[in-house]
Structure formats: structure tokens, C-alpha cells
Amino acid sequence: MSNRGRGSGDRGRGRGGPGGRGGSGPGDRGRGGPPPNAGGGGRGGFQDRGGYRGGDRGGYRGGDRGGYRGGDRGGYRGGDRGGFRGGDRGGFRGGDRGGFSSGRGRGFGFPREQGGIFMPDVPATIDARLTDGSQDALVAQFKSLTLRDTDLPTRPDFGTKGKDIKLRTNFFPVKVPKGPLHEYDVSIQPAVTIKRVKRRIFQLAEQTRDWEQAGMRGRVAHDHSAKLISCFKLPQPLEIKIVFTEEEDEQVKSQDPKKKKKDKEYTMTIKYTQPIETQSLLRYLAGDRQYRDYDIMPVISALNLVLAAHPNRSTGAGVMVGRNKFFHPSTEFPPRPIGGGLEAWRGFYSSVRPAHAQLMVNVNVCTTAFYTPGNLMDQIVEFERASHGARMNAFVKGVRVKTTHLGYTKTVKAVSKHTAKTYRFKTEDYGEVTVEQYFQRKYSIRLQYPDYPLVDVGGQKANLLPAEVCNILPHQPFRGKLTEEHTANMITIACQPPNVNARAITGRGQDELGFRQGSDPLAAFGISIGSEMAIVQGRILSPPALRYGAGAPRVDERASWNLRDVKFAVGGRLDKWAVLVIKDGNERDEFTSKDDPELRSIVGGFMSMCRKSGLVVGSEPAYADVQLPRRNNQDPIRKAAIQAVRTALMNLKTKPNMVLVMLSNGDRHVYSGIKHLCDVYLDVATFCVHSAKIRKEKGQVQYFANVALKVNMKVGGVNHSLDQASMSWLNQAPTMLVGMDVTHPGFGTVKGTPSIAAVVASVDKQFGQFPASMRIQQSKKEMITELAAMMEERIEAYKKRSGALPERILVYRDGVSEGQFPIVVAEEMPEIRKAYRKFSTAQKQYSPKLTIVVCGKRHHTRFYPTEAEHADGLGNPRPGTVVDRGITAVYDFDFFLQAHGGLQGTTRPTHYYVVHDEIGFTADTLQTLTNNVSYMFARATKAVSLVSPAYYADLACERGRCYLHALLQGISDSGTTATSEVKDEDIFREAEKMWHGGVKGRLGETMFYI
């Protein structure tokens, strides 16, 4: 795949992306050593702003939100943003990775099949409910509704622009049961907090006589935790006695009868809470205006539980991940190794969703990483090899193992700092011995890895064991951050053409989810599910015309174009710059020194490309090189290396405005540390390239062009804009486009690590420059805390550059689940309005028209063209495909848009949802505008899958992660790790020191993050 869709340069990798590379080898336990001499910083040389600490982009957005009103946060796993992250990254001709639906054909994965139209010979008849005029009549009635300021706007109309097409979509009609459902709370005594134990208790309860006598077998659904749904009223009170035994693979086979513990007994109490009637849901689906505010969540949640009853049944080899992903290994799709002790499982996602006049279930193929069963030590070695020395703790935390010497089943809590060779303890038989000596004497086991850290499998009290006497139990999903190798191989495995995925959904998916006729739980509840995908109307919007300084490239069928013989719309000026050569033990790819003739020649070629593209290159750069200290266990995030970089830059005679950094390898610690140092402390822009890539003659011109795209944006230029016709709405009145996003700490980070918020906004009439405001805030808080101050900064920047205040503000808000839409309106909208006060006067109140559109990529909606002329070569919809009927909201203003063209796999559209609209958009205006703005992303020569302002906000958040690198890697200066207990406020104070006030000065007025 060309460029893997990333572009060149700064390696802005995807969220939820791989874990850090270049760790410290087998002994790296993720614990920071003493701070290097970098702390304190000094003000020598060209005045850095004092002190330096390391930064990170680590994992992102752990967790699966699942179900309706929360979508799923999954790409191939719940932790990844999927779709656009990895898509759209290219510059010159970079590819779109389309989430985990693209692949690179590297020998992993399932046999690759040809793409094409799904069911090409079956007539495509649009659902009757969509052709009888009822939708249009319903929307016309909405105009008479009186809405409060905080109500979500109703749909104004449906779009009409573009070429009409028919699309299959992975939604299936659900027949809603007539009678009420009955909800029960389930409590267990003694109390149980471990999910695995709860699940086992439910499994044992289903086997009891009490369960059968209550008539529950095959007639109830539950979440294996606290809620149960029944299709009839259960006897009350209802208690079930359970004698707890472990599952067979977790039982101790050879145990001393004298030491055998008595089986524990539990009591399950099932208490009636409420009836859940379904008739109001039908009124809601019909668009009855009186039911617009009806809370459908109780019935939707109940129906999701019922649909999950078959795939989540207690018996069978299936595994449930999150609330709505189900995995059943088969001979057709067996687990596939992805290296590093992990394997990929393919399964299916399902979630009930409302649509006009019909309840639907959304079904999709999904892929996630599981532990490879086998010896824990062997898998740790594999993981470290694949992750270039990533911390062991990232791999082992939370995994269930069975000991080989005694047969006990344990959960690994953490990696100890002790090794089998060094840890000593007292025994009755052998006196004080090391763990290595104990295993030799007690069990005649000679340890093969005595120098590796022990793993802690204890509860309240530590219980240290060698990893090599532990075997990983099967069927365990991996919840940590994937390495780059894992991610690449997951992409390859998940990559399947749309027709192949559609065939799996309608075939094996229906079987495994139990949607075929005769499934016990569904039949008992009176629910039936259609076997054919819904067919809906769609339209293909035309691409906008592009405008460059010279030349007019043509947009091709994949929504991309070529920069050959064109110049930037506005060329910036590159002067007072430097080249820094990083040497880090990769002699094969590195330049020998700053004086390397090849280096000088390559930089000369790059300067020529910049000039050819329209940049003004004012002077030759200064040159510097630095030999980084070797990696070691005491400095896992390489603070000493960044101190060496700082020294090299400070020794330059003149402070540069920008530095071209020639990276030696893909060490994320070094990359993040350089960004942190230069952005926050030195006020110097950087653009990073890999020595190996820039030295390659093949594709070198393309690589230069990719980097030039980013350089021009960082020095204040504009790469391209749209023609007058495509910009007509934007130019009707002074308009500011805004992107907003929040990124959260993921699995394996220090508890209490802050979230990072970013707000970007346009400042010029060409909508080419989007400087950013960034803040840290309370951990995992989705709403932006300091939004008023951030919006003040953005409006002030617009006024400074444009000479006037914006009269219209269009916000694209990323990263919010459907359940949080009202919170955006209730909390964030007032903060945006609060920012207006600074610009109001006694004579005139400043009150621009505000519209907020939420962008969602974390969903499982897919579209399949019914005719070849409406599809690309793989069978995906053509770029510009928009859908606002059939599977969209009943009352609200939303649509799906696939602006981009995917290179491989199945493309994912973006879901746009209007939560506030003072501007008064029509469907055509907003859909066309959003499609056009998707062509304005400056780092690519193609349309991107997420509208550009939201994409920029995401990139700014990603850059902010560099500044908190240590915490996001699970390392704190206090010695705290991801498993340590420490107050959140202490970690926040540590993060504030790392953040150091964020990006200020000259750099803060630029797109430094691009």
C-alpha cells in the first residue's frame, strides 16, 4: 500500500495504536529510573523555557462503549477509533487504511478473495417504508414543533443533490414482541466483584433445579452480572442456591485431599423491578410527535440482552467482548497468529437500533486480539521481540494462567521488580533460598529464565512466580495496547472486501448470533429477525474543484489527485532552519554525521522540491548531529536521549525556527520526547523523517513532496483550497470552522493520567490554517472543561488574522457517543457562548450563529452498492456517497457520508449528527459542505474520511499525548506504575509539570501539530 496512508514525516499514528517501541529489552519493567540531568533545563543558548520531561502518544481510548447510544468504540478492538485513524494519512498519494478493513498482504490473515458487488443477481428493492412518502410527510410535520434551545434540532428535510443509488446495508429488520418484557435485578451473596466468577455463578445457576422449576430455561436473558429480562413474570421471591466449582480447565487436578477447600456456596436473589412495554417504542419508531422525548433506552437495552442470549450462552466455546461482540472460533475462521504472543479472532457485533417505522439490528464482522495459549514466558519473549522491548507489564497484566507445578489457576496482577535469581525468602525445609533454588530443590525444575522478573499472581499479598511455570489459559482477549507489528498484522487479517464481509454477516453471522428461525431465546420472546439486509436510498455527491497557486489537478474516482506540476495556493517561507541527524545504533540506515555528503545531497533535493512546490526557501540550514545514549532498563522512556538532543540543539549558533529531524528508527520514546522538548520548551517547529525512507531513491521525490506539504502548513502557508463555487456557502458571511476532540488515557497508563482536549479553528478566508488550543483535564472526562477559554483564544486568533469577528461558527465535534449528545448541548454549548462575552461591547452584544455537528466513526454501519457503476473496484461505495434515509434517526438531523475512497477492505462512512443549529442548514447544504470540506485536509492529496476540522483536532490531541508520554506508558516520576495506588490529584500535578503550560509563543499561532 502506498505510504500506508500515513504520509511521511512526523509519523502521526492512529489512536489506539501500537505501544511504544524501543523499550529497554527483556528486563524492562516499565519503571523509571532517576531523572536525567535534563531536568531544570537552563536558559542557555537560544533561551529554552526551562526544564524538560518526556512525553507520549500511548494507547488511546480503551474500552468498548457498546450497544445503542454509545456505538462501539471499536476498529478491530474496542480501544481504537477505527476507520479514519490510519486512513487519510498520506500526503502526496498516501493510502487510506480504512480502519482495520485494509491490509498489506504480508502473509497473515485469511485467504484473500476478490472484491465485487454483493448479491449482484438479486433484484434490489428499496424497503416499502421508505418509498410510501411517510418519511417526507413526517419531516414536514416537524416544522410545526416548538423546540427549546437545548433540544436537538429535528430533521429539516432530506437531501436531494447527487446521483440517486440503491445500497444494501448491514441492518436487519426486527419484529418487536407485542407483550411487555419484565426486568429483574440480580444480587449475589456473598458479594462478588470479579466478572469471571459472576459469569461462572450464572452458569452454575442455569444448571440448578430451582432455575428449571421457575421456568427460566430458554425463556430469560441476562448479562451474567446484575440484570435479567424475562418474557413472563417469574415467581417472587426467587432465590437460587449455588455450590461454586471452577470450570474444568481451571480446576486443580492433583491436589492434596487434606488441603482441599470446601466448595463455596452462593445465593442468587432475582427481584422484580419493572415491566418494559414495547408499544411506546412502536409509536416512537412511527415518528409520533408526542413520543419524541420518550426514553427508548430501557427497551433497547432489554432487547439487546435478549439478542445476546444465544451467542453469550454459558455453554459453548464462544467469548463475549464488551457488551455486543461475540467470537466463536471455527474451522472456517480459526484464530490466526499475529506474532508477539497474540492471535486474531474474527467474530460478529450486533446492536439494536431504531429507524423510521422499523426496529433494526446492526450486524458487522469484527476482529480482536486474544492471547495465544501456551507458556507465559515463551509468549512474553515473543511479545518483547515484536514490540522492541516494550514493558512486560503491558502484556501480562490481567491474564489468567495455570501453574504447571501445582495446577493452580491464577490472575497475573503485575510484573515484579525481583527475579528468580535475586529474590530470597524463608522456607521450613530449605532455610532462606532464592526462587531459582526453591524450584530446583522442591520440584526438580531448573528455570530457563532466572534473570527475568517474576510475576505477581497474589491477591492482597504478593505471590511471586516465575513466568515459565505459568501457562496462559485459552479464550482470553488482550486488553492492552498493540505493538506496531501486531497492528499491521491485525489490519491484514481484518482486511476483507465488502462482498466477503457481507456474505459472512448474512451467513455465518446469522447462525452464530442465533438469528435464524428456531433460536430458543428469540422464539420465547416472540422476536424474529429478517434474513436479508435492508436496502436504502443513497446519493453520490460530486467532488469540489480544487484550487492551487499554479495548476489544477483533477480529482479521480478515488477522490484523490496528483501534485505533479502544481504549486501551493499560498507558499510559506522556510528560513532559519536546521537539520538534526539522530544516531541511535541503526548504522545501516543512519547518516554517518552532519557532514555526510549523501545527507547534504538529499537535503539539497528536498529544498528543490520545496521551491518547486511554491515554498520560499530563504537560506541553507544549519547542521547538527547527536549520538543517543544506549537504551537501558533504568531509563525506559529515554530521558537521557532527549537530554542529548537538547544539548545538540542548544549548541547551534542561532536558534532555528524549524528543525528537520532525521530519525534513526521508529523509537516512539525518542519521537515523543523530541516533540515535547521542541514544542513546549524550545518553541521550535519540527518535522521528523526516517533516514531509511528519505535515503531510498525509489519514491524519494514522492517522499519529499509529502514532507513539503507539512512544512508549508507549519510555516503558515496554504497547500490548496476549493474553487469559488465550492466555497460559496463559506464566503456568504464571515465563518469560522471549528474542530473539537478529547483523547483519554488507555489501558496500562498511570491511574489518574489526565485526558487531553483540543480545539482548532480556521483563521483565514481560504480555510487553510487551523491553529490549536490544547488543555489537560480530569481523567476520562469527555466534555471539554476549559472550553470557554479555548474558544476565546480561537475567536481572538480569527479576529487578529481576518480583521473581523466571525458571524457564523460551525463546530465539528469528534469523539462523543450518542448518549452524550444532550450533554454537549447542556454543558459545552454554554461554554462556547460564554467565550462571546469577551468580544461584546456596551453598544453591541457579540452573538454569532452557532451550529454544532458531532462526527462519529465508532459505529458498525456499512454500505454495499447494488450496481457496479455505483461502486469502486472493490465493491465499496464511491467517494461522496451519502445516506440520510432508512437507518438514520427517526426525529433528529443526521446522515452518513463516505467522502473518501478506500484502497482495500471495506470502507466505513462517518456519521454526522446535528445537535444544535442556529445557522439553519438544509440537508443538501450541510451534506455538500461537509463533503467539500473533507477535501481541504492539508496533509493529504485526497478527500479524508473525517471532516478536516475534526481531523485536525484529533491530530492536536495526538500531539498532546507526546507531552504526557511517561504517564501514558505507565511510568511516573514518583515510581508509580500502572498498577500502583496513588491519588489522582498527585498524578494531575505531575502531568501539569510535564504539560508546562502547553505550546505558547510563536509556535502556538501555527499548525505545529500537523
> What integer is the mean pLDDT of 83-106?
37
Domain assignment of residue 158, yes or no: no
Highest mean pLDDT among 60-74, 625-639, 761-775: 761-775
725 and 652 co-located in one domain: no
Do both 608 and 726 map to the same domain? Answer: no
Does 730 share its domain with 699?
no
Give the mean model confidence (pLDDT) for residues 82-98: 37
Which pLDDT score is estimated for 316? 61
pLDDT of residue 551: 80
**Range in 317-321, 468-472, 533-537, 556-560 the model is least confident about:** 317-321
- Residue 976 falls within a domain, yes or no? yes
pLDDT bucket at 642, cuts 50 / 70 / 90? very high
Q: Please determine, for residue 71, whether its predicted confidence score (pLDDT) is greater than 80.
A: no
Structure confidence by residue, pLDDT tens digits, 707-719: 999 999 999 999 9
Q: Which three cell numbers stand for residue 109?
A: 490473515
Q: Please list, in sequence order, all residues whose beta carbon lies within 8 angstroms of the beta carbon of residue 123, skipping any fewer than 6 positions away.
A: none
Query: What was the pLDDT predicted at 236?
Result: 94
pLDDT at residue 747, as a whole number: 80
Q: Quick check: 49 pLDDT over 70?
A: no
Based on the domain organization, do 973 and 919 belong to the same domain? Answer: yes
Q: Is the pTM of this model over 0.75?
A: yes
> Percent of the chain having pLDDT more than 70?
85
Quick check: 868 and 528 in contact, CB under 8 A? Answer: no
* Mean of all residue pLDDT scores within the chain: 87
Banded model confidence at residue 249, pLDDT cuts 50, 70, 90? low
Asked if pLDDT for residue 129 goes beyond 90, the answer is yes
One domain, residues 612 and 670: yes
Q: Range with the lowest mean pLDDT among 227-236, 313-322, 424-433?
A: 313-322
How far apart CA 696 and CA 702 sit, in angstroms, is 11
Task: With cut-offs at 50, 70 and 90, classify the pLDDT of residue 655.
Answer: very high
Of the pLDDT bands very low, low, confident and very high (cuts 50, 70, 90), residue 44 is: very low
Write out the residue range of the structural domain in which residue 839 sits. Answer: 721-1005
Q: What pLDDT score was predicted for residue 977? A: 54
pLDDT for the residue 314? 59
Task: Give the least confident one: 106-120, 390-404, 413-427, 828-842.
Answer: 106-120
Residues 725 and 866 in one domain: yes
pLDDT at position 983 is 83
Burial degree of 85 (CB within 10 A; 0-12, 13-18, 19+): buried
Considering only 92-106, 576-590, 738-752, 798-812, which range has the smallest mean pLDDT? 92-106
pLDDT, residue 558, reads: 94
Cell 496500562 sits on residue: 748
Cell of 224: 451474567
Residue 349 burial (CB < 10 Å; 0-12/13-18/19+)?
A: buried
pLDDT band at 624 (very low <50, low <70, confident <90, very high): very high
Instruction: Answer whether the bond into residue 36 is a cis peptide, omega within 30°.
Output: no
**Any idea what the CATH number is for the domain that residue 622 is in?**
3.40.50.2300
Return the higher-pLDDT residue of 720 and 253. Answer: 720
- Is 90 exceeded by the pLDDT of residue 189? yes
715, 749, 769 - which closes a domain: 715
Among candidate residues 664, 695, 715, the one where a domain is terminated:
715
Per-residue pLDDT at 247: 74
Q: 316 and 419 in one domain?
A: no
Q: Would 93 be classed as within a structural domain?
A: no
Band (pLDDT 50/70/90 cuts) for residue 55 is very low
Q: Which three cell numbers stand for residue 628?
A: 543517543
Kindly write down the DSSP assignment for every residue of 541-574, as one continuous string: PPPPPEE-SB--PPP-TTSB---TT-B-SB--EE
Model confidence pLDDT, tens digit, residues 198-209: 999 999 999 999
Q: Which is more confidently placed, 819 or 43? A: 819
Does 878 map to a domain? yes
Q: Which residues, at least 6 apart from 6, have a Cβ–Cβ distance to it below 8 Å?
A: 12, 13, 86, 89, 90, 94
The total number of structural domains that make up the chain? 4
Q: What pLDDT is stored for residue 20 in this prediction?
A: 36
- Structural domain includes residue 146: no
Rounded to whole angstroms, how far apart are CA atoms 73 and 67? 10
pLDDT of amino acid 460: 75
> Does the pLDDT of residue 47 top 80, yes or no?
no
Task: Work out the widest C-alpha separation in the chain, in whole angstroms.
Answer: 90
pLDDT at residue 266 above 50?
yes
Same domain for 365 and 395?
A: no
Nearest to 411 by CA among 378, 370, 376, 436: 376
Ranges 513-522, 858-867, 977-986: which has the least confidence: 977-986
What local confidence, expressed as pLDDT, does residue 212 receive? 95
pLDDT beyond 80 at 172:
yes
Predicted pLDDT at 6: 37
Q: Is the pLDDT of residue 114 over 90?
A: no
Confidence band for 52, pLDDT divided at 50, 70 and 90: very low
Predicted confidence at residue 73, as pLDDT, reads 38
Task: Please check whether residues 349 and 415 belong to one and the same domain.
Answer: no
Pair 651, 686 in one domain: yes
Most confident of 305-319, 408-422, 843-857: 843-857
> What is the pLDDT, as a whole number, of residue 67?
40
Higher pLDDT, 458 or 472: 472
Note whether residue 46 is domain-resident: no
**How many angstroms separate the Cα of 847 from the Cα of each of 342, 831, 850, 989?**
54, 13, 9, 36
Q: Give residue 260's pLDDT band: very low, low, confident or very high (50, 70, 90).
A: low
Does the pLDDT of residue 886 top 80, yes or no? yes
User: All 3 cell numbers of residue 22?
Assistant: 524501543
In a domain, 77, yes or no: no
The C-alpha atoms of residue 218 and residue 236 are separated, in whole angstroms, by: 19
Q: CA–CA separation, 517 vs 37, rounded Å?
A: 69
Average pLDDT on 985-997 reads: 96
What is the structure's pLDDT at 263? 77
Which of 715, 731, 756 is the C-terminal boundary of a domain?
Answer: 715
Rounded to the nearest 5 percent, the helix, strand and coil shares of the chain are 25, 25, 50
Whether residue 152 is contained in a domain is answered as no
CATH of the domain at 421: 2.170.260.10
- My answer on whether 792 and 895 are in the same domain is yes
pLDDT of amino acid 479: 86
Q: Looking at residue 101, what is its pLDDT?
A: 35
- At 968, which CATH number? 3.30.420.10
For residues 981-989, give the mean pLDDT. 85
pLDDT digits (tens, 9 = 90+) for 911-952: 999 999 999 999 999 999 999 999 999 999 999 999 999 999
Nearest to 650 by CA among 53, 56, 54, 49: 49
Query: What would the mean pLDDT of 115-134 be, rounded to a whole number?
Result: 93
Do residues 638 and 663 lie in contact, with contact meaning Cβ atoms separated by under 8 Å? no
Residue 323 pLDDT: 85
Please report the pLDDT score of residue 157 as a whole number.
98
* Mean pLDDT of the 878-890 span: 98
Phi, psi values for residue 623, rounded to 5°: -120, 145
Amino acid at 429: D
What local confidence, expressed as pLDDT, does residue 36 receive?
36
Beta bridge partners of 352: 361
**At residue 893, does pLDDT exceed 50?**
yes
Contact present, 507 and 172 (Cβ < 8 Å): no
Tell me, what's the pLDDT at 518? Answer: 65
Lowest mean pLDDT among 588-597, 756-765, 836-845, 966-975: 966-975
Indicate if 910 and 854 belong to the same structural domain: yes
